[in-house]
Amino acid sequence: MSDNSLLNRYYHRVNEALHQYIIKLPLKHTSLVQSIEYAVLSGGKRLRPFLVYAVGSMLHVEEVVLDVPAAAIECIHAYSLIHDDLPSMDDDRSRRGHLTCHLKFGEDIAILAGDALQSLAFSILSESPMFGVTPENRISMLSELAGASGVKGMCGGQALDLLMRGDKVTLEELEWVYLHKTGSLIRAAIRLGALTAGDIGLEIIPILDRFANSIGLAFQIQDDILDVINDRKFLRNKFDSDKNFNKSTYPSLAGLANTNIKIQDLYQKAMGELAMLSAKSLNTNLLQRLACFIIEHDI
C-alpha cells in the first residue's frame, strides 16, 4: 500500500474514532457538544494522529490500539486551537476555513468546549481498550500527554509566547517557545505511538525524541516562513494578528535565507535519526514521508 493510501486510511480511522467518542457524550443536543463536534470534525490535517500511527505501525502495533492515543492527542490539539483563537489570546476569526469556535458559539461556550475536550482526551486514554498495552505503559502514556499539555509543555510555551510579545527575543528563546508551544505535542504523539509497543518502543524513545524535536521546530519555523512568502490574502488573519501583536518570528530575527538553511539543517538531523532506526531493521518510510510533508508544510 502506498504512503498516500495509508495516510488517507489513518485520516478516516481517527475521524471515525473521534466521531464515536463524541456521539457517546451526554447533552449531545446542547451548544457545548455541538461546539466540540464543530471544533474536532470540521477539518484539520491530523498530523499528530498520523505520527501516532506511523510510529505504532513501524513497531507492528494493531491499528485499533493506535486509534486510542491518536484520538486522545487530537482532542488536546483541538482544545488548544479553540483557546488559542480566543480574543484574549490570538483573537483569530477563522480556523480551517470556518468561523472560529468562539464566533460560532460564543466565547463562554468555546472556553467550556476546550475544557471538555481536554477532559475527553484523558478519558479516552484512560478508559478505552488497548489490547497488549500494560497498565504501567498506559499510565506512562497519560503522564506523557499531561506533561506535554501543561506548564512544562504546550501551555508553558504559549504563556511565554504571550509574555514575549513586543519584547526583543533571541533565537534561542524563540526556539525554546516553539519546542514547547508546538513541539511538545508532536513529541508526545511520537512517544504515545512508541509506548503502545512496550519495551521495543521504550528502547528507541531517545532516537524518536531527537527526531521529534527536529521536525517540531521545523514545523513552527516553516509556519513563520509562510507568513513571509505566501499571498497575504490567504493568511491575512494570522499575518495581521502577528503584526498587531508585534511577535518575533524566525525570519524577522535570522533573515529568510538563514531561516531556510535552518529548516534544511533540521530536516537532515531528522533523517539522520531515522537512519539509526532503519539500522535496527525498522521501516521508517512513513516517518520519512511525514517529515518531508512537515518541512514543506503540505500536511
Grid coordinates belonging to 160 = 511565554
Grid coordinates belonging to 170 = 533571541
3-state secondary structure the chain: CCHHHHHHHHHHHHHHHHHHHHHCCCCCCCHHHHHHHHHHHCCCCCHHHHHHHHHHHHCCCCHHHHHHHHHHHHHHHHHHHHHHCCCCCCCCCEECCEECHHHHHCHHHHHHHHHHHHHHHHHHHHHCCCCCCCHHHHHHHHHHHHHHHCCCCHHHHHHHHHHCCCCCCCHHHHHHHHHHHCHHHHHHHHHHHHHCCCHHHHHCHHHHHHHHHHHHHHHHHHHHHHHHHCCHHHHHHHHHHHHHCCCCCHHHHHCHHHHHHHHHHHHHHHHHHHHHHHCCCCCCHHHHHHHHHHHHCCC
Q: Any idea what the Cα angle at residue 150 is, between residues 239 and 117, rounded to 5°? A: 80
**Alpha-carbon dihedral angle through residues 200, 205, 210, 213, given to the nearest 10 degrees:** 130
Strand pairing of 94-95 and 98-99?
antiparallel
The pLDDT score that the predictor gives to residue 295 is 78
Full set of structural domains in the chain with CATH = 3-296 (1.10.600.10)
CA–CA gap between residue 71 and residue 188 (Å, rounded): 13
End-to-end CA, the chain: 19
The pLDDT score that the predictor gives to residue 232 is 45
The pLDDT score that the predictor gives to residue 246 is 63
CA–CA gap between residue 77 and residue 80 (Å, rounded): 5
Grid coordinates belonging to 33 = 457538544
- pTM here is 0.92
CA–CA gap between residue 46 and residue 146 (Å, rounded): 19
CA–CA gap between residue 266 and residue 154 (Å, rounded): 21
The pLDDT score that the predictor gives to residue 123 is 98
Written as tens digits, the pLDDT of the chain (299 aa) is 667 888 899 999 999 999 999 999 999 899 999 999 999 998 889 999 999 999 999 999 999 999 999 999 999 999 999 999 999 998 889 888 889 999 999 999 999 999 999 999 999 999 999 999 999 999 999 999 999 999 999 999 999 988 888 778 899 999 999 999 999 999 999 999 999 999 999 999 999 999 999 999 999 999 888 877 654 444 444 444 554 456 789 998 999 999 999 999 999 999 999 999 999 999 999 999 999 988 776 55
